[in-house]
């Protein structure tokens, strides 16, 4: 479980095919060797919002396996060498929940249709989901994870979502690396999906 509060930004060092539809992703290791910050094999790290398992690491690299399902549902296959990605380690019991509940199980991708500075370091971001049905889980002022970042929906259109990015989020994430037309990973509010399933179940009985 994650919160959508990005801890580190890393760069892609490699993305190699290991089978027909699977890949190995290698990032530089931005975590220190201090006892409180060192990572472990088998732990989960949200990478651009996708929950990935650390398969191996060194002081300079972190390795992950990307399953066929991960490739199908996310934009990770489109990463290039030196691309920047957002990282968040899993939530520990007792941690502050500064964002919202994020599983790292992305629901799909969205295309960046607008990204421009609004005023004094604030940026306007607009994205268009590749699957418009995901918009039914979104509400104005509600939360959504975009490339792993917990963002508040500023405006909701028929086919798109808009956000206003504060200077801190802009500086501390990989958002400046995005361009118009790029795909981002999105995960809608977990509670909205549970409410939908509960309603469906009641109607099935």
Determine the pLDDT at residue 205: 66
50 strand-pairing partners:
47
- Chain position carrying tokens 């028929």: 158
Taking the C-alpha atoms of residue 96 and residue 12, their distance in angstroms, rounded to an integer, is 29
Distances (CA, A) of 111 to 54, 129, 182, 204: 28, 6, 6, 35
Q: CA nearest 7: which of 116, 120, 92, 129?
A: 92
Of 17-26, 102-111, 147-156, which gets the smallest average pLDDT?
17-26
Residue 168 neighbours by CB under 8 Å, 6+ apart: none
Q: Is the pLDDT of residue 204 over 90?
A: no
Tens of pLDDT along 80-118?
Answer: 999 999 999 998 888 888 889 899 999 999 999 999 999
Element (H, E) at 203: helix 190-204
Q: Check residue 95 and give its pLDDT.
A: 84
Number of Cα atoms under 13 Å in the Cβ half of residue 121: 7
**Neighbour-count burial of 153, counting CB atoms closer than 10 A to its CB (0-12 exposed, 13-18 middle, 19+ buried):** middle
Q: Which domains does the chain have, with CATH numbers?
A: 8-89 (2.40.30.20), 108-196 (2.40.30.20)
154 and 18 Cβ atoms separated by less than 8 Å: no
Extract the tokens encoding 194: 């549970």
Can you give the pLDDT at residue 5?
96
Per-residue confidence (pLDDT) for residue 201, from 0 to 100: 76
Closest by CA to 186, choosing from 48, 85, 68, is: 48
pLDDT digits 0-9 by tens, 22-62: 899 999 999 976 666 789 999 999 999 999 999 999 999 99
* Tokens at 46, concatenated: 């949200």
């Amino acid at each position: 479980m994650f919160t959508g509060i990005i801890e580190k930004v890393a760069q892609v060092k490699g993305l190699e095919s290991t089978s027909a539809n699977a890949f190995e992703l290698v990032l530089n290791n931005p975590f220190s060797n201090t006892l409180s910050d060192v990572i472990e094999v088998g732990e989960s790290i949200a990478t651009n919002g996708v929950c990935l398992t650390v398969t191996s690491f060194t002081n300079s690299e972190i390795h992950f396996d990307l399953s066929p399902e991960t490739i199908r549902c996310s934009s990770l296959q489109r990463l290039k060498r030196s691309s920047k990605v957002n990282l968040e380690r899993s939530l520990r019991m007792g941690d502050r929940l500064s964002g919202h509940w994020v599983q790292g199980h992305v629901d799909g991708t969205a295309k960046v249709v607008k990204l421009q500075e609004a005023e004094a370091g604030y940026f306007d971001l607009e994205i268009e989901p590749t699957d418009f049905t995901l918009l039914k889980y979104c509400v104005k002022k509600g939360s959504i994870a975009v490339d792993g970042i917990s963002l508040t929906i500023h405006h909701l259109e028929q086919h798109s979502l808009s956000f206003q990015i504060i200077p801190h989020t802009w500086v501390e994430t990989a958002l400046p690396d995005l361009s118009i037309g790029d795909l981002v990973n999105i995960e809608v509010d977990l509670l909205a999906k549970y409410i939908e399933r509960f309603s469906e179940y009641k109607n099935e009985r």
